[in-house]
Structure 1
Amino acid sequence: MHIAIFSQHHTNPDCPATSRHYALLAHLARTHRITLITTNTWERLRITHRYPWIPEGVEVRNATVSYENKMGVGRRLLSFGRYATYAIREGLRIDKPDVIWGISTPLTAAWAAAQVARLRGVPWVFEVQDLWPAFPIAMGAVPSKWAQRRLHQMEYGLYRSAQQIVTLSPDMSSTVTETGLAKGKKWRFGEEKVTTILNGTDLELAALATDEAVAALRQEYDLQNRWVILYAGTFGRANDIPTMLAAAEQLADDHPTLVWLFMGHGYDEPLVQAAAARCAAIRLVPPQARHAVFAWFRLADLSVVSFLGLPVLDANSPAKLYDSLAVGTPVIVTNPGWTKELVEAHNCGWYVPASNASALADRVAELLAEPATVLAAGQAGQQVAQQYFDRQQLAATMQKILEQSAKQQ
């Protein structure tokens, strides 16, 4: 079977990114012909060169399209439009696929997949990585009511035309299903069209976080006898970086052995740099390759999964949650959605309300005094990861959906 995949943001384990689809593509390529239509944006950002840029057996069409988190709205729209134009052109040139897999974000990548599917008369599967356009609208990036309506129309049209819809969290699935069941729509659909496939993690890479690797990091970064809290990910507008920095500074004087590591890059990086310059308890760590990040998570005593308190963000599926639990490091989450339910149900983390620096500082101070509780939560989280977060198992589910969609043409 020939599967064409439309994804603007391809990464591999050498990149400072989650690389979800690298694992899924590698799994699919063992039994099917795979053509990936993407960009080379992340290829030049590789930190190491230990892995092939494209998994073995995957054919690739690469557009030269720039993109970065610091871009403003105008430049992002230009980037999205350039990729969509390229993807449609290449999608019409490749051998006819049996099924197409369109991945948002951005929504325009999935839109391009839908257009090619329509023109070539093949079914397509829509993967919803974030609730677009709800997310950019909530962040104030789409102030025009007319533009909001048009984007929602695009979203609904994609739901309608897709053979199946895949989301990365149960809350996303609920939102999409509610949209499909809304009254007054001729194209109503129910939960049978929507499947949750969690973001997940790479357990084989997590196994690289050995005692020796962690000890070497502690030695290199002078973290012996330190209690470490890690935030690893994008310093984006939605990640509520200022709240974490404020909590770190509140605790600095009373807890001199506590260190907060901020690992990544993005819009709020200057804030982290300034805080690190004035507070010894805060350190900025350069972005790490995917295969190296697990040792940092295992080094930490706690990790923080932080977002602004916007309802649309309650549904997200952050890679840092899965990666942290995979190596036995419990998490603090700041959104009252499915992640809160997960960590509380499995006793592998704690919830603190978003944008509340004092509440975050108080929770950390409590946990500093309860190392046994923290250790037990980490062990529970690792069991959850082994059972539910393995990307090899998730890839098998995705393969089944694609195969079934192709047969339903």
Structure 2
Amino acid sequence: MRVLYLHQHYSGPGGSTATRSHVFAEALAARGHDVTVACGRYAGAATGLEGTFRRGHREGRAGRHRVVEFDIPCGNAMGLAARSGAFLRYAARAARLAGSGRFDLVVASSTPLTVALPALVGRALRGTPFVFEIRDPWPELPRAMGGVPRMALAAMERLADAACRRAAAVVALSEGMAETAVARGADPGRVHVVPNGCDLRHLGPHISSWRPEEAAPWECLALYAGAHGRANGLGTLLDAAAILRARGEMRLRVVLAGEGAEKPALMARAAAEGLVNVTFLDPLPREALGRLQAGCQVALHLLADVPEFAEWTAPNKIMDGLAAGRPVVTNQPGRAARIVEDGPSGIAVPPGAAAALAEALARLAHDPALRDRMGAAARRQAVTRWDWRLLADRFCEVVEGAGEGNLPRSPSLLWPLGTDSRGLRPETKKGRGFGGGSPSPDLPSP
């Protein structure tokens, strides 16, 4: 089957951003499919292509699959207008591919939601079926955060409705996201939950460690690695660092690696308040980030205090912490808290609660045995539930079923090891799961 995989923010393992699409494209290609990924130039991403752009694009191979990279820059540090323009330019270029008739199926991975436009074009012009993947539910999350014009939200509503109703299958990263698709008219039997997974190749006890120069040997390092934007609520982390500094806590250092629109203000605040227990790092490639994870003792997953985040997000930060075998501290209720409390594999604190966050960090800094127990539980979760290879197999089954027109129905939306994506044990549910088996032998771990 000839598959066009649309993900504007695609990255291979050489970048500092998520590699879900790379892993799944490789998995499809390993099963004999001819896969082409179309992407833009996302800040922190690395497609692996090195040639010059000609007529606005360049192309080449990234492992088993082909990549077409459009010369359309985009990143979290850009303003809303600039990012919106990049979204529309990418959609226009991708629509030419989707409508070319060269592909048997399109995978449209959102966000941005505008990736649905070329998929709908291909369906309208050529009858090409498409799989719609929801990585973040738009417009639900933008509306919850505020600041988006009403007309833009209305346009997103119409586009999300069309994508969910006309897709041959919908893949959601959490059950909460799946529920938004069903609410928009998607057939529940065609909605499948395939959550984010763990990179067991680049993260884990087999990785050599690295620590920033300013980190003292006795310091416990708590790592936040990811976007520094409004949605991440990192001001609370600086609040916690200030509390620990005022208490004379010398055993813990907060490390923030990444980029985003809020980073300059965060760095300025840390300098102004003399937060010498805080270190900022640039985004790191996957291999270097794995070494930093190995050198830190605690992983952080933080978001702003937005109630809708509880069930409508599926951050990689938790999975990276689990894979690294580190206790995870999250400030989110709902799905994140359930994952972290299993084992337990870390500590969950209320959103926006700087004092509780500071207390959790201090507790872990002073109790190496507790860190070891939680870290071991975290790694067990990563290996038994969240191996990317297991999840890639499930994703491929959904894509192949959509392309062949005989997609297996998914009435229970089960996720690995008999739990649904809310971390519940559905003893009374019966249906098709997708975890607990063996990964494909010919697919390497990402």
Greater helix content: 1
Whether 1:293 aligns to 2:297 is: no
Give 1:2 deviation, angstroms: 1.0
Structure 2 CA distance for aligned equivalents of residues 318 and 44 of structure 1: 17
Give 1:407 deviation, angstroms: 1.1
Residues 84 and 108, structure 1, Cα contact 8 Å, conserved in 2: yes
- Give the structure 2 partner of residue 34 of structure 1: 35
C-alpha root-mean-square deviation of aligned residues, in Å?
A: 2.3
CA pair 114-311 structure 1, distance change in 2 beyond 3 A: farther
- Secondary structure at the aligned position of 1:280 is classed as coil
From 267, 283, 290, give the equivalent of 2:261.
267
Give 1:83 deviation, angstroms: 0.5
- Give the structure 1 partner of residue 81 of structure 2: 74
Structure 2 CA distance for aligned equivalents of residues 292 and 47 of structure 1: 16
Residues 326 and 382, structure 1, Cα contact 8 Å, conserved in 2: yes
Letter in 1 for 2:281: V
- Give the structure 2 partner of residue 335 of structure 1: 332
- Give the structure 2 partner of residue 87 of structure 1: 94
Equivalent runs, 1:156-305 vs 2, <5 Å:
156-177=161-182, 179-180=183-184, 187=185, 189-190=187-188, 192-207=189-204, 210=207, 213-214=208-209, 217-218=210-211, 220-253=213-246, 254-277=248-271, 278-305=274-301
Residues 77 and 259, structure 2, Cα contact 8 Å, conserved in 1: no
- Percent identity, aligned pairs only, is 29
CA pair 262-385 structure 1, distance change in 2 beyond 3 A: same
- Give the structure 2 partner of residue 184 of structure 1: none
- Give the structure 2 partner of residue 311 of structure 1: 307
Letter in 2 for 1:273: M
Residues 164 and 405, structure 1, Cα contact 8 Å, conserved in 2: yes
CA pair 42-143 structure 1, distance change in 2 beyond 3 A: closer
Give 1:75 deviation, angstroms: 1.1
Equivalent runs, 1:109-120 vs 2, <5 Å:
109-120=115-126
Give 1:151 deviation, angstroms: 1.5
- Secondary structure at the aligned position of 1:256 is classed as coil
Letter in 2 for 1:403: E
Structure 2 CA distance for aligned equivalents of residues 48 and 285 of structure 1: 25
Cα deviation, 1:135-182, whole Å, max 9, x if unaligned, reads 2222223232x43233112111111001111011222223333x15xx
Give 1:17 deviation, angstroms: 0.6
- Secondary structure at the aligned position of 2:255 is classed as strand
Whether 1:101 aligns to 2:99 is: no
The number of equivalent residue pairs is 393
TM-score (structure 1 length as normaliser): 0.90
- Secondary structure at the aligned position of 1:204 is classed as coil
Structure 2 CA distance for aligned equivalents of residues 44 and 290 of structure 1: 10
Cα deviation, 1:17-48, whole Å, max 9, x if unaligned, reads 11111111112112110122222345886899
Residues 228 and 258, structure 1, Cα contact 8 Å, conserved in 2: yes
TM-score (structure 2 length as normaliser): 0.83
Residues 33 and 58, structure 1, Cα contact 8 Å, conserved in 2: yes
Moved more, 133-142 or 2-11: 133-142
CA pair 54-381 structure 1, distance change in 2 beyond 3 A: farther
Structure 1 CA distance for aligned equivalents of residues 49 and 35 of structure 2: 25
Q: Which runs of 5+ in 2 are unaligned?
A: 51-58, 407-446
Give 1:338 deviation, angstroms: 0.8
Cα deviation, 1:43-91, whole Å, max 9, x if unaligned, reads 8868999xx9842232233211111112222111111110011011122
Residues 25 and 55, structure 1, Cα contact 8 Å, conserved in 2: no
- Give the structure 1 partner of residue 55 of structure 2: none
Whether 1:14 aligns to 2:14 is: yes
From 38, 52, 55, give the equivalent of 2:62.
55
Letter in 2 for 1:281: N
Structure 2 CA distance for aligned equivalents of residues 256 and 246 of structure 1: 16
Cα deviation, 1:156-210, whole Å, max 9, x if unaligned, reads 1111001111011222223333x15xxxxxx5632x2211111112211225852
Residues 10 and 45, structure 2, Cα contact 8 Å, conserved in 1: no
- Secondary structure at the aligned position of 2:114 is classed as helix
CA pair 202-171 structure 1, distance change in 2 beyond 3 A: same
CA pair 370-43 structure 1, distance change in 2 beyond 3 A: closer
Structure 1 CA distance for aligned equivalents of residues 244 and 319 of structure 2: 27
- Give the structure 2 partner of residue 390 of structure 1: 387
Residues 242 and 271, structure 1, Cα contact 8 Å, conserved in 2: no
CA pair 207-47 structure 1, distance change in 2 beyond 3 A: farther
CA pair 219-321 structure 1, distance change in 2 beyond 3 A: closer
- Secondary structure at the aligned position of 2:322 is classed as helix
Cα deviation, 1:188-238, whole Å, max 9, x if unaligned, reads 632x2211111112211225852xx21xx2384543111111111110110
CA pair 175-46 structure 1, distance change in 2 beyond 3 A: closer
Residues 198 and 394, structure 1, Cα contact 8 Å, conserved in 2: yes
CA pair 273-392 structure 1, distance change in 2 beyond 3 A: same
Structure 1 CA distance for aligned equivalents of residues 60 and 298 of structure 2: 32
Structure 2 CA distance for aligned equivalents of residues 362 and 43 of structure 1: 33
Whether 1:65 aligns to 2:69 is: no
Residues 14 and 48, structure 1, Cα contact 8 Å, conserved in 2: no
Structure 1 CA distance for aligned equivalents of residues 215 and 230 of structure 2: 30
CA pair 188-294 structure 1, distance change in 2 beyond 3 A: closer
Residues 229 and 302, structure 1, Cα contact 8 Å, conserved in 2: yes
Give 1:376 deviation, angstroms: 0.6
CA pair 245-363 structure 1, distance change in 2 beyond 3 A: same
